[in-house]
């Protein structure tokens, strides 16, 4: 996993956590769901990159 990919995935995870937190604070279920989805995407990308790194 390149440093650029790690930074992008971390940023996506942080954005997702922020959306989830703001959604919880404002009782906005849509924003909570978007935040969780962002975090899931970041986790999936990280897992995929970890698999690639394993086989290098």
Contact 23, 31 (CB under 8 A): yes
Q: Is the pLDDT of residue 54 over 70?
A: yes
Contact 9, 40 (CB under 8 A): no
Q: Is the pLDDT of residue 39 over 70?
A: yes
Distance between CA atoms of residues 45 and 17, nearest Å:
16
Distance between CA atoms of residues 21 and 26, nearest Å:
9
CB neighbours of residue 42 within 10 Å: 20
For residue 41, give the DSSP letter: H
Amino acid 19: pLDDT: 97
| High-pLDDT (> 90) share of the chain, % | 70
């Amino acid at each position: 996993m390149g440093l650029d990919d790690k930074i992008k995935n971390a940023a996506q995870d942080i954005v997702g956590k922020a959306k989830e937190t703001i959604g919880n604070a404002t009782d906005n279920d849509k924003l909570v769901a978007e935040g969780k989805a962002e975090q899931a995407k970041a986790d999936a990308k990280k897992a995929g990159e970890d698999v690639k790194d394993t086989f290098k």
